[in-house]
Amino acid sequence: MHLQGQPDIGTLVRAALAEDIGTGDVTSLATVPASARAHARLVAKAQGIIAGTAAAETVFRAVDPAVVTTLHVADGAHVGSGDLVLEVAGLARSLLAAERTALNFLGRLSGVATLTAQYVAAVAGTRARIIDTRKTTPGWRALEKSAVRAGGGTNHRQGLYDMALVKENHIRAAGGITAALRACRSYLDAHNMRGIRIEVETTSLAEVDEALAVGCSRIMLDNMSLDQMRTAVARIRERMPAPEIEASGDMTLDRVRAVAETGVDFISVGALTHSAPALDLSLLFSSSLRIT
């Protein structure tokens, strides 16, 4: 997996292993015979949605290409406590050196997928789709956005390069919503970037009206009350074709259903990637070590 401006899985895995192993796993070097072989089972210890399996397998192979991995569930699968996710077999020292890094990738990304699935379930039956934000772990964006998809969510822009999102500071710098939107359109036209979509953040009904007057691809309703959102949605839907509508700000699980019922198309949730708790997983040897 590789996206513009982002490292691939192999690069991230190598950096993570270097951080953890350093000059060597002194505990395993001291206690585990070099020729000892083992079989281990990686299991879930809580209910959740799995994501990050490719990263986990990459970790084991990066430590030792001879390690054999057997995947029992795919990204997006629901697991319960005790369910088998992955089996690995090979030199015991290799499995132990890879264990924590593999669990870190898998636990973190499965946590993102699990929280995303909870938000998706909360808005089921509405037109709203749950989308992520750029509030991601540095270097992990491609992985975390993949985990959002595994949980049933939808990705927003990948970065600053693939969508123009005019926010409060851009509006201030440009001298207002009208000036900012016109400047974006002029820049994109001049640089032959007409395929780039333009979204604008609004915080009041007056700003919604101004955005509608100028025109854009999507209007964000930021930190509005439910009544304000309902009114804004009605006004935007009067336009043909109507811009897409995104709601943002304070999107808790308790509140997201009510927001979805205002009729918005998207609900952006930064918590999917900045606050998701890791899914609890463990890896244990399933039998005695075999000395060869």
Give residue for tokens 């210890």.
45
How far are the Cα atoms of 72, 178, 257, 262 from residue 182, in angstroms, in the given order? Answer: 52, 6, 34, 29
Which residues, 6 or more positions from 251, have their beta carbon under 8 angstroms from its beta carbon?
A: 119, 259, 267, 268, 269, 270, 271
Task: Give strand pairing partners of 44.
Answer: 281
Euclidean distance between CA atoms 168 and 189, whole angstroms: 23
* Rg (alpha carbons) of the chain, rounded to whole number: 23
**What beta strand segments (E) does 161-287 contain?**
164-166, 198-202, 218-222, 244-248, 266-268, 281-285
Residue of 57, 99, 222, 265 with catalytic role: 222
Residue of 37, 135, 185, 255 with catalytic role: 135
45 given a catalytic annotation = no
Secondary structure of the chain: what % helix, strand, coil (to 5)? 45, 20, 35
Structure tokens at 6: 């982002």
100 given a catalytic annotation = yes
Residue of 37, 100, 230, 255 with catalytic role: 100
135 given a catalytic annotation = yes
Euclidean distance between CA atoms 91 and 87, whole angstroms: 13
222 given a catalytic annotation = yes
Q: Which three-class secondary structure state does DSSP give residue 179?
A: helix
Residue of 127, 162, 167, 189 with catalytic role: 167
Residue of 201, 207, 246, 265 with catalytic role: 201
265 given a catalytic annotation = no
Q: What is the DSSP letter of 154?
A: B
Catalytic residues: 100, 135, 167, 201, 222
